Structure 1
Amino acid sequence: MDVIPVIDLMGGRVVHARRGERDAYQPIESRLVRGSAPLAIVAALLALAPFRRLYVADLDAIRGRGSHDVEIAAIAATFRDLEIWVDRGETDVMALRRRAVAGPGISILGTESFADVFALKRALGAGEAVLSLDHDARGRLGPVEAHEDVRLWPRRVIVMTLARVGAGLGPDLERVGDAAARAGARRQVFAAGGVRGIDDLRALRAAGAAGALVASALHDGRLDHAALSGFAAEAR
C-alpha cells in the first residue's frame, strides 16, 4: 500500500491543513525541516522515505486567487521520478486537456468543484486524472452520481474526508472500505484524511485501500523513518 505525502500550498508556502477550514491555515511547522518553502519540504519528505507520489493541493487556485504552477513545476523538475497529483479545483475541459499534455502534474478532479455530473463526465474525458470523492462533516460533496455510480470512476479514486484532515480523528474506514469493495479489481481507492500513525495505515490496508494520503503524521514524527520502513516491509 502506498503512503502519499500531501502538501497544501497557499501564498507560496506549505501550510498546515485542518478540517478543510482553508481561511485559517497557517504555514506548516515541521520536525523534518525549518521553514515552509515547498522545495525544502518536499526534499525533507523524500529524505524520510522513498515516496513514489506526492499530492499537491493548490489552495490559491482552488479559491480563485492565483496559482502555484511555478512552484509545482520546480518540484517536478527537481524530483523527476516523483509522480505528482495536483488539485487546482480545475473544471474547464480545455484547461484540463492542456494539463494532461503539458502538466505540471496529474490533475485531481474533486467532486466539490462540480455542480453537476455532466460537467464532471466531460472533465473526466479530458485526459488522465484522479477522481476525488469529497466529503465534509455533513456528508458527500458534489454530484451524487459521482459517489454512487462506479462506472464513472477512473482507475484511481480518492475518498477525501475533509473534516478529518489534520484533526486527529482517524481515517474514515467505513467509507474507504465501501468504495474499495465497489471499485473491484480494475480501480484503486486511496484514503485521505485522518491518518494518525501506523495502526491507521494497517487498518486502511485491511479495508482494501491501495494507498493513503498523509501530512500531519509525517511532520510531527508519528510516522517516522522506522515506522514507514517497517510498514513497507510488512507488505513484502
Structure 2
Amino acid sequence: MTSELNLIPVVDLLNGQVVRAVRGDRKAYRPIVSALCASSDPVTVARILCDHCAARQLYVADLDALQGGAVQVAVLVDLLQALPGVELWLDAGLADAGAGEALRAQLAPHAPRIVLVYGSESLRSREALERCFAGNDAGAALSLDRRDGQRLDPAGCWEAVDLWPGRLIVMTLERVGSGAGPDLETLRDVRRLAPAAMVIGAGGIRSEDDLAQARAAGADAWLVASALHDLQLPRVRR
C-alpha cells in the first residue's frame, strides 16, 4: 500500500541533531535512536529516510525555531545541498508571510525547492493567514494543528476554510511518535471541507494497514518518522 499513498519522511531538528518526536512534547525529544540509521546527523538521516521511501519530499521541523529560537539555517543549507532532487517542506514557527519570505531569502539559491509550512499554532492573526496564501500558494502549505482534542489556532485558521490553500497538513500532535494510530476522523473532516486540496496527514502510522486506511479516508500523503526508524514500513521501490 505504500505505493498508493505518498510517504513524506520527517526530520525533527533540535540543536543541530535529529531527535525523536514523542507525542508532540518537545521537551521530551532526544537524539534519534533508530533501527534504520545509526546516526543523529541530519544529512545522514535524511538521505537514508528519503532512500527508504523513494521520497521526493522531506519534511523538516526546526524545533529550535518552533520554540522561539533562531532558525537552523546552516543545517537547512546542508540538507538542500546534499539532497538536490528533494523538495524541502519547512516548518520553522513562521508567524506571518514576512517571516516566511525572510527565511526564503536566507535560502535563496534553493528557493524553488522550498515549501514553507505555516502552522496554525504559529500564525499570529487571521490577516497573517490571508497574506501567506494571497494570490499564489505554490510554495507554501498550511498545517492545521491540534493536540488532545484542542485546536492550536490563535489566528482562527481552522474556521477560515475560504482562506485554506491547496496543500493542507492535518497535524494531530499527540499522535506524533505515539504508535497510537492515525487520526482519520479529523482527516476526513478536512477532506470533506477541502475536496480539491492535497491533504497530508501526520502522526500515528504503525503499519501498511494504517496507510491503507489513511488513503481510504482521503489522505494524499502522510508525514512519517517513527514507523520508519522502527522498521514498521518496508522499503518503497519505484
Instruction: Say whether the fold is shared (TM-score over 0.5).
Output: yes
Deviation at 1:150, TM superposition (A): 2.1
Judging changes above 3 Å, is the alpha-carbon distance between structure 1 residues 44 and 17 closer, same or farther for their aligned structure 2 residues? same
Render the CA deviation track for 1:47-101: whole Å, top value 9, x for unaligned.
3131111100000011122221111111111111101100000114323224456
2:131 paired with 1:122: yes
Match of 1:200, SS state, is helix
Instruction: Report the counterpart of residue 57 of structure 2 in structure 1.
Output: 53
Q: Which runs of 5+ in 1 are unaligned?
A: none
Deviation at 1:144, TM superposition (A): 6.9
Instruction: Report the counterpart of residue 217 of structure 2 in structure 1.
Output: 207
Q: Distance in 2 between matches of 1:43 and 1:188?
A: 25
Q: Distance in 2 between matches of 1:119 and 1:46?
A: 32
Relative contact order, higher structure (CA 8 A, sep 6+): 2
Q: How many residues align?
A: 227
Amino acid at match of 1:190: I
Instruction: Report the counterpart of residue 14 of structure 2 in structure 1.
Output: 10
Higher helix share: 1
Match of 1:112, SS state, is coil
Instruction: Report the counterpart of residue 189 of structure 2 in structure 1.
Output: 178
Match of 2:50, SS state, is helix
Q: Which runs of 5+ in 2 are unaligned?
A: none
Q: Is the Cα contact below 8 Å between 1:170 and 1:200 reproduced in 2? A: yes
Percent identity for Structure 1 against Structure 2: 43
Q: Is the Cα contact below 8 Å between 2:120 and 2:155 reproduced in 1? A: no
Q: Distance in 1 between matches of 2:91 and 2:43?
A: 18
Amino acid at match of 1:195: I
Match of 1:47, SS state, is helix
Q: Distance in 1 between matches of 2:17 and 2:104?
A: 25
Deviation at 1:143, TM superposition (A): 4.2
Instruction: Report the counterpart of residue 93 of structure 1 in structure 2.
Output: 97
- 1:26 equivalent among 25, 30, 34: 30
Match of 2:168, SS state, is strand
Q: Distance in 1 between matches of 2:96 and 2:213?
A: 37
Q: TM-score, normalised by structure 2?
A: 0.89
Deviation at 1:195, TM superposition (A): 0.8
Match of 1:170, SS state, is coil
Q: Is the Cα contact below 8 Å between 2:96 and 2:129 reproduced in 1? A: no
Deviation at 1:204, TM superposition (A): 0.7
Amino acid at match of 2:205: V
Bigger Cα displacement from structure 2, 46-55 vs 209-218: 46-55
- 2:67 equivalent among 63, 67, 91: 63
Q: Distance in 1 between matches of 2:100 and 2:66?
A: 14
Q: TM-score, normalised by structure 1?
A: 0.90
Q: Could you list the structure 1 runs, at least 4 aligned residues long, displaced by more than 6 angstroms after superposition.
A: none
Instruction: Report the counterpart of residue 42 of structure 2 in structure 1.
Output: 38
Amino acid at match of 1:28: I
Q: Distance in 2 between matches of 1:22 and 1:145?
A: 23
Match of 2:90, SS state, is strand
CA RMSD of aligned residues (A): 1.8
